[in-house]
Amino acid sequence: MSGFGWWLRDSWEMVVRNLIHIKRTPELLLDVTLSPIMFVLLFSFVFGGAINVGNEGGEEGSYINFLMAGIFVQTVAFAGIYTGVLLANDLQKGMIDRFRSLPMSQSSVLTGRTLTDLLRAMLAIAIMWVVGMLVGFRPEGGILGNAAAIGLMLLFGFAFSWVGVAAGALVRTPEALQGIVFAAVFPLTFVSSAFVPTASMPDWLRVFAENQPMTLVVNAVRDLTLGTNVYDAELPSVLWSVGILVVGFPLGLWLYNRRTTQ
Positions that interact with other proteins (CB under 8 A): 6, 9-10, 13, 17, 20-21, 24-25, 93-95, 97-104, 260-262
CB 213 within 8 A of CB 240: yes
Residue type, 119: L
Beta carbon of residue 79, minimum distance to other proteins (angstroms, whole number): 20
CB of 107 to other proteins, least distance (A): 12
Residue with Cβ nearer other proteins (113 or 222)? 113
* For other proteins, the closer CB: 1 or 143: 1
Please give the span between the terminal C-alpha atoms of the chain, in angstroms, as a whole number: 31
Fill in the DSSP letter of residue 31.
Answer: G
What whole-number distance in Å separates Cα of residue 104 and Cα of residue 169? 20
- C-alpha span between 145 and 173 (Å, rounded): 41
Torsion of CA 167, 35, 129, 42, to 10 degrees: -130
CA separation, residue 139 to residues 33, 59, 71, 203 (Å): 20, 10, 14, 31
Q: How far is the CB of 106 from other proteins (least distance, A)?
A: 8
CB of residue 95 to other proteins, shortest distance in Å: 6
Q: Which is nearer to other proteins, 17 or 206 (CB)?
A: 17
What stretches of 101-233 show up as alpha helix (H) in DSSP?
Answer: 108-134, 142-170, 174-190, 203-211, 213-226
Nearer to other proteins, 13 or 31 (CB): 13
- C-beta of 127: minimal distance to other proteins in Å? 23
- Nearest CB to other proteins, comparing residues 105 and 192: 105
- Residue 214 to residue 187: CA distance in whole angstroms: 11
* C-beta closer to other proteins: residue 100 or 172: 100
Q: Tell me which residue of 29, 17, 31, 161 sits closest to 96, measured CA to CA.
A: 17
Least gap, CB of 169 to other proteins (angstroms): 16
